A and B are shown apart, each in its own frame.
Chain A
Amino acid sequence: MNLVRSLFRPILTFAADNKLAALGGLIVLLFVITGVFAEQLAPTDPNRVSVRNSLAPPGSPGFPLGADNNGRDILSRIIFGARVSLYISSVAVGIAGLIGVTLGIVAAWYRWTRGPIMRLMDVLLAFPGIVVALTIIAILGRGVENVIIAIAIYQIPQFARLAHGLALSIQEQTYVEAAVAGGESDAAILTRYVLPNIIAPIIVQISLLIPGAIMIAAGLSFIGLGVPPPTAEWGAMLQLSMTWGRMAPHMTIFPGLALMLVVFGFNVLGDGLRDALDPRLRGRS
């Protein structure tokens, strides 16, 4: 009981302090649950075609949010689409974080690596995310794995730059100097002293980059270069609605609403976490 209380008290305090961020956290939680338990939550198979029910309006029996041109249930497709978004964004941001943070810390610690690493990051940062992602797709081809790699590569510099700046200031600290004087290995210093002290802003960065990853993934599918059909994916659903939307507006409205809600949730959660971790920034955004 005490453990539970001590675990939940900071969360509750945070939620009471920042109601918008709490709302964001709730949306994110619902998104994760929806993605993980898609089979249990979806009323039907997202790929079940039923020509008879083509373009059925919302509220039709068995189709709470209507059906698409193939008579597939929009609600089920949105629910399974959450799984695809969750999978792509979490793996992509995870990879980007791992590689980006490593590069940033290494570039800060070993002076001679700084030039090459950070210049390469500058090259990537000279392009908008969607352009980097499209270029990677041009090189690797389509498919879920390649979408993940494309997004990871676009986000690596975002992590590297942040980690580099943070690591530079941490390694000036006395406790790092002490560790160096004590003869500890570089690996030990970086993982035991530098990394734990920069982890908080990196967690904030993760919550602010996941919506970017979700948006790019949906954007790639929207232009037909992302997750291949018939996989239920929000961007791909919206692409389909370009043809059918004028007859069935529900094909446009609901997938986009789901996408916006999730991105909004991550954004306000990330903002709230940033304010909570760095009170100096409070009220700035």
Chain B
Amino acid sequence: MLRYIIKRILIGIPILFLVITTVFFAFRLIPGDAARILAGDEAPIERVEQIRTELGLDRPVLVQYGAYLAGIARGDLGVSFSSRRPVAVEIGTRFGNTFSLALAAIGLATLVGIVLGVISALFRGKLADHVVTVIALLGISVPVFWLGLLMMQLFSVELGWLPAAGHGTWRHFIMPTITLSVFSIAFITRMTRSSLLETIAQDYVRTARAKGVRERLVLLLHSLRNALLPVTIVVGLRFGYMVGGAVITEEVFAWPGLGRLLILAVGQRDIPLVQGLLLVFATSFVVVNLLVDVLYAFLDPRIRHR
């Protein structure tokens, strides 16, 4: 098991290194001059040069790259162009907000998705199955920002039940959590259904049936545990994307998280901040995938012995 975990970590590190490198050089391809963009069109040339020196943009690209890598190793992600505060601080103060929202959303999505998926498989071909299938199809088709706006107009403006924006209390969590989880609910529902139906067709389930175990019990006890194995992968994948993928949900509900920070950073072309955020997003994706792989190997002995 330990060997497996170490192997997985060794696969994850080069991907992060590649992400850092790709992102760094991609931003060096920008047509135009970062110092000029930052100073504004009207700024005198001296000001532009001053910014260039301050940010080290006058050094050769490879030197900048080496300095950037060395910085990351020390936890230094550079200084934000626009706020002039360290990128690590900007990200650190908002990370918790995005992480808690993503955690709530994936929790909700997993719970609802598995329940709907089981119902759908249990009543395969019946009305309940069709209803769940259509719900899942709508769930992957609904634009998240539209859903967010509709909920806001209904529950905040019309009914006054929930706060429209911001964060602080648990009531602020309700609408953003639902908005962020809808796509994943639909995804997990479909995955649970198909995985369960596939498992039911397996030999050991037939054996259980032949032994006379009651039908519903067969499904729940003998199939569900194995059927949920692939579902854990999907849950992990969705969660890994959620830390970065909350961009639009955060924008709708003015949620002070990393997604809104990214929109801000892109709008102002704050390159160090964008780079830092991308690194954090990629790291959460790689870490979550690592955890899921380890969990999977723990649950399914066939994997870790391969």
Contacts and interface: CB of A to CB of B under 8 A. Distances in A.
Interface string B33-74: 000000000000000000000000000000000000000000
A123 interface: yes
Interface string A245-277: 110010011011001100110011000000000
Interface in A194-229: 211, 215, 218-219, 222-225
B141 interface: yes
Interface residues of B, number: 48
Contacts of B245: 128, 130-131
B271 A126 contact: no
B96 to A, nearest CB: 19
A127 interface: yes
Interface stretch (B84-92, B190-198, B207-215, B218-226): B190-198
B286 A126 contact: yes
Contact of A245 (B19, B149, B193, B269): B149
Give the residue among B137, B141, B262 with the most A Cβ atoms within 10 A. Answer: B141
Contact of A285 (B15, B27, B190): B190
Interface stretch (A8-16, A55-63, A132-140): A132-140
Nearest to B286: A126
Interface string A103-130: 0000000000000000110110011101
A139 B27 contact: yes
B247 interface: yes
Give the residue among A131, A225, A241, A263 with the most B Cβ atoms within 10 A. Answer: A131
Interface residue SS majority, chain B: helix
A242 interface: yes
A52 B193 CA distance: 53
B190 A120 contact: no
B278 A252 contact: no
Contacts of A285: 190, 193-194
B138 interface: yes
A284 B201 CA distance: 12
Interface of A: 20, 119-120, 122-123, 126-128, 130-131, 134-135, 137-140, 211, 215, 218-219, 222-225, 235, 238, 241-242, 245-246, 249, 252-253, 255-256, 259-260, 263-264, 267-268, 283-285
26 contacts: A119-B18, A120-B18, A126-B286, A128-B244, A128-B247, A130-B248, A131-B244, A135-B23, A135-B26, A135-B266, A138-B27, A138-B271, A218-B143, A219-B145, A223-B248, A224-B267, A238-B149, A242-B252, A252-B150, A252-B153, A255-B146, A260-B138, A260-B142, A264-B137, A283-B194, A284-B198
